[in-house]
Structure 1
Amino acid sequence: MQETISIKISNPDHEKAASILEELSKNLYIRFGSDGKNSFQDWQNENAKYVFVIAEINTEIVGCGAIRPVNEHTGEVKRMYSKYRGKKIGQTLLAFLEDNARTIGYTNLVLETRVKNESAIQFYQKQEYNIIPNYGKYRDRPEAICLGKSLN
């Protein structure tokens, strides 16, 4: 039986959100030696171009994700995390974020992950994200790989 995943817009500083973000950071640190927190420091809760969401099954927080602006038409996917594999949590989160991105007015989404994070790269490619040239602070970072998707 497929469990129902509910996605809710939240504040990353909220207690429930903070716990799943901390779990994500620990997971990244164990796998890649960096927790990724420094790429999520400039969050603006009051800005409508920023969206942070949590995923719940029953009352358990099972994932999170975010979008923030790169420029007027491009949003960046950040802090994507699914606690369990095979439950379509990541797909549900990303579809929700993409719908919100369109509503906000973004026409493109981009993201960065580690080259070593093969499961994430495969996940995004299955969701129709393509490898793009590294952008912004990732430009000269050989350990980084960037992907993007047109929302048109």
Structure 2
Amino acid sequence: MHTLQRTNSANNDFIELVKQLDADLATKDGDDHAFYNQFNGIDAIKHVVVAYENGEAIGCGAIKAFDNEAMEVKRMFVSPTHRGKRIATAVLAELEKWAAELSFKRCVLETGKRQADAVQLYQKNGYHVIPNYGQYAGVENSICFSKSIE
């Protein structure tokens, strides 16, 4: 059984999980990691969800304002030993609920095409592919998604 906690980017458990995420992405993204990493700072993110199991932080995700109508989902991660338990789906659903409570109408996100598990997660949770936005426009390995949360 896992529990979810709403917090912010100053949360020490979130900071530790992000370190694991960055190490995982450095391996998967290879030579592209430096490009993506520049967009993944966690300074002053006000909306973070951390998943716990028996008091241990096992997963996380965050949202930050993208524009007046959308929140961008960032820093989604579940520790490898806890994958396959629908934790990422629970974190994502809580982030979407929080965004809706803040009167946003949709969530957007970017992931890498090499992140097959992430692509599958977003598709099974109702996200659809959109043209790459912002800094990801024209980036071959990026895939962007959107979901209405109204």
Give the TM-score, by structure 1 length.
Answer: 0.89
Question: Sequence identity of aligned pairs in percent?
Answer: 32
- Give the whole-Å Cα distance in 2 for the aligned partners of 1:119 and 1:99: 22
What residue in structure 2 maps to residue 68 of structure 1?
A: 64
What residue in structure 2 maps to residue 39 of structure 1?
A: 39
**What letter is aligned with 1:76?**
E
* CA deviation string 1:87-122 (max 9, x = no partner): 111011001001000001110100000111121111
Give the TM-score, by structure 2 length.
Answer: 0.90
Question: Residue 59 of structure 2 contacts residue 87 of structure 2 at CA under 8 Å; is this kept in 1?
Answer: yes
Matching of residue 30 in structure 1 with residue 27 in structure 2: yes
Q: Which 5+ residue runs of structure 1 have no aligned equivalent?
A: none
Q: Which 5+ residue runs of structure 2 have no aligned equivalent?
A: none
Q: 1:122 is matched with which residue: 114, 117, 120?
A: 120
- Give the whole-Å Cα distance in 2 for the aligned partners of 1:114 and 1:26: 15
Seen in structure 2, the aligned counterparts of structure 1 residues 17 and 59 have a Cα distance that, compared at 3 Å, is same
- Give the whole-Å Cα distance in 2 for the aligned partners of 1:22 and 1:88: 21
Q: Which runs of 4+ in 1 moved over 4 A?
A: none
What residue in structure 2 maps to residue 15 of structure 1?
A: 12
- Give the whole-Å Cα distance in 1 for the aligned partners of 2:15 and 2:62: 13
Seen in structure 2, the aligned counterparts of structure 1 residues 97 and 82 have a Cα distance that, compared at 3 Å, is same
How many residue pairs are counted as aligned between the two chains?
Answer: 145
Q: 1:91 is matched with which residue: 78, 89, 92?
A: 89
**Cα root mean square deviation, aligned:** 1.5
